[in-house]
Each structure stands twice: as structure tokens, then as C-alpha cells.
Homo-oligomer: A and B are copies of this chain.
Amino acid sequence: MNLSLTLPEIGQRAKRAARSLYAADSELKNRALAQAASSLLAQSEAILAANQLDLAAGREVGLTSALLDRLALTPERLSGIAQGMLDVAALPDPVGALLDETVRPNGLKIVKRAVPIGVIGVIFEARPNVSADSAALCLKSGNASILRGGKEAIRSNQAIVTAIRSGIEEAGLPADCVQLITDTSRQTATEFMHLDAYVDLLIPRGGPGLIQAVKREATVPVIETGAGTCHIYVAPSCDPEMAVSIINNAKTSRPSVCNAVECILVHSACAPDILPLVAAKLKEKNVELRADKRALMLLRDAVPATEEDWGKEYDDYILAIRIVDSTDEAIEYIRTYSTHHSEAILTRDEAEAHHFMESIDSAALYWNASTRFTDGGEFGMGAEIGISTQKLHARGPLGVKQLCSEKYYIYGSGQIR
């Protein structure tokens, strides 16, 4: 990797590489992914050594142990990352898929097919696995990628991207299919967000601060990802055992992710029966319950919720609880406080479920299942580069299909208008 390139130079190289990828067939792309995965393993010593330097620097500046854990690579994690690249290679190629076809009365045949987007920029924070995941998903969908990770992981990312690039090159594609911005200054990040001339799409992967900054600053089109304040509404006719199981799973199976539930709305008619059961189960994992006034009366160990708790994304072992008197009240609440990621209704009443699912405009609406399923793998897309919570282009998990654009091919025989 040439570390002294300017951003426009990186952009030009990406654009050139994107042309090779645009023309590459599935076999060539898959070979590049396989070679990149082997190269990651072959260079594991260098990658782990670089990661040790990042960890040492992180300890020096006082990163929390949670952050240090996210940053840390082990031989096992590294083979997980390499396996992830092979899994992406094994996905069906999204490029060239027939999206629409029509013959017009004048004889023009109009065919719409999926094509790569071109150059995709990814801005992410501490976890070094994101660089390999993102590179693999972009490459599979025929896109060149420009990665910009956080400074905490810079040495690890450099080592990973160096390995991936050499694998890609061995397979016969330009190394510049994947590039890393090694200057982690804020100024360079801002310049990156304005690189319209070369970058077709920018995906921020990280916390709300990062996402808002990108959205505010970027002139490159952005897909927002990952803001997840998910809700579960417990209706009177729910199956109580199922309710406890789903709420427990949605809250405690992995509280740090965006599809975890943050707030449950419980109908007043079933709250006295359901809430104590839920509380007992969540107590096993020491989940803090923040309850509204009416729920407080039913819960021994809850603390009073404040205004800030409504709509809050905890990403932690904390759950907000609120009593409602109707499905419509639950709907209205979710419309107001949700980030439009994933919401669930637990009920035996089909008409009620239908009304709930039709009325709320979030990416994913669940009936009697955990919100934790909003995930590329669980949806059968293979890996994902994030969960879109915006309404343009794609909503929900962004897999390789969603990393494609479209193009019209029009076949004529001299037609004029």
C-alpha cells in the first residue's frame, strides 16, 4: 500500500479498479476472495503483531476494556474473519440478475439488470474485522471499496488490508479493489465525505455520533445504518410463556446490537400477569428495569423511568417498560419514539397483528418472534454490511444484492420517437 496517496488519488485508483470489477465474472471475484482469505491466514503473524501494537497504544490512552476487547484479534478471530470471506464468496453473484423485462408496443425490448454501484466508501470505528467484512461484501457485488477505520485499529487495519490486497492481486484483479485511508485525521474524514467525483456511496458503520456526522457533512450519497431503538408490544391475547421467552431473547441474547429490544409496551389487561414473569426471567441476567408509574406498581425491583428513557437506545442490560391501554396507543408510541428499525407484536389475534404491522412504518415488523432476527444472515442474505434504517435504496439488512445498482439495456431496430 502506498501510504502517501492523496484522497483524489485514492479515488481515481478506486474508480479504475471498479472498472475491472465491473467486467469481472463470478469466478474471478470468488477466486480473489479465496486468495484474500488465504493471504489473511498466511500473514496472520504480521496481523496479530500489528494488533498487539494497537492494543498497547489503546491501553496507554486508557481505552475501556470493552473497547479493547472489540479491538483484540486472536488466531481464532482471524480465522473467523477469513472464513467470513469464504462464506461471502459462496453467496450467489448478485450482478447481472434480471430485475425486469418488457417489450414495448414499438418493438423496443427493455431489460433491467443489477450492476455494481461502483466505488463504496465505508467509515467505521474500532473493530478491525469490519475492514475485511466490508471489503469482501463490496468485492462480491463488483464494487471497489475505500475503507476508513478508527485510529485505535489503524495498524491492525493496515495489516489486514495489505494481506487482502495481495490476495486480490494474486487472483488477477487490481489490488486497488480494496484501499485503506491511513490518515485517520478528522479533516481527511471530512474530505472523504465530499469525494463525490469518485465515491458512489458512503456507509457509516458505528455509533449515532458517527452516523449523524456523516449524514450532516457528506455530499456523497449515504445509507444510514444501525440506529436501533426496537420495541415489543405485548397484547392481552399473547401466550405468556412465549412473551417471556421472546422478551428475554430480544433483550439479553446480545444487548449491544441494534436489533436488541429497548422498550416493551404491555397492555394493561395482561400486565399484572405478564410483567412479574418477565421481571423474574430478566433478573437472571440482572437487567435493570425502568418502568412508567403504572408498571412500577407491578414490579418490585424496577426503577422509575424518566422522559429520557423513552426512545433511548441503551445497547445494554436495561429495559424500559410502559403500560398502554390499547394497540393504537402502542402504535402511536412506537411511531413517536422508534428509530424505525424493528418492532414486534406478541398476540394470538391475527387481525390485531395485521393492524399493528400495517400501521407502523419500520424496516421490520414481527408477529410472535424476537426482533433479534433482523440480520442479513437470519434473513437468508448471507453476510451484511449493516442494517439500513432509512427509506431509500434498501431497508433492513444490506447484503450483496443491496450493494448493487441497476441498469437498463434497450434493444432496438431503428426506433425513433
Contacts and interface: CB of A to CB of B under 8 A. Distances in A.
Given A219-B215, A392-B392, A410 B22 contact: no
Given A219-B216, A358-B23, A393-B392, A410 B373 contact: yes
Given A369-B412, A390-B221, A102 B246 contact: no
A226 to B, nearest CB: 16
Contacts of A365: 407-410
Contacts of A23: 358-359
Interface string A344-378: 00000000000001110111111111101110001
Contact of A373 (B201, B368, B415): B415
Nearest to A239: B414
Give the number of times this chain occurs in the complex, counting copies: 2
A231 interface: no
Interface in A382-402: 390-396
Interface string A58-83: 00000000000000000000000000
B417 A405 contact: no
A338 to B, nearest CB: 13
A117 interface: yes
A379 interface: yes
B380 A416 contact: no
Contacts of A104: 378-380
A221 B358 CA distance: 24
B110 A410 contact: no
Given A245-B414, A366-B412, A407-B361, A200 B372 contact: no
A242 interface: yes
A141 B366 CA distance: 24
A249 B414 CA distance: 11
A59 to B, nearest CB: 34
Contacts of A364: 407-408, 410
Interface of A: 19, 22-23, 102, 104, 108, 110, 115, 117-118, 196, 200-201, 215-216, 219, 221-223, 239, 242, 245-246, 248-250, 253, 335, 357-359, 361-370, 372-374, 378-380, 390-396, 405-417
20 contacts: A19-B335, A200-B392, A215-B219, A216-B219, A246-B416, A249-B416, A253-B416, A253-B417, A357-B409, A364-B407, A365-B409, A365-B410, A367-B411, A368-B412, A368-B413, A369-B410, A369-B415, A369-B416, A373-B410, A393-B393
Given A110-B379, A200-B391, A368-B415, 12 more contacts: A23-B359, A118-B361, A200-B390, A215-B219, A242-B414, A253-B417, A365-B407, A367-B412, A370-B412, A393-B393, A395-B406, A396-B408
- Kindly list the 7 A-B residue pairs having the minimum CB-CB distance in the complex, ordered from nearest: A369-B412, A249-B416, A391-B405, A364-B408, A372-B417, A242-B414, A393-B393
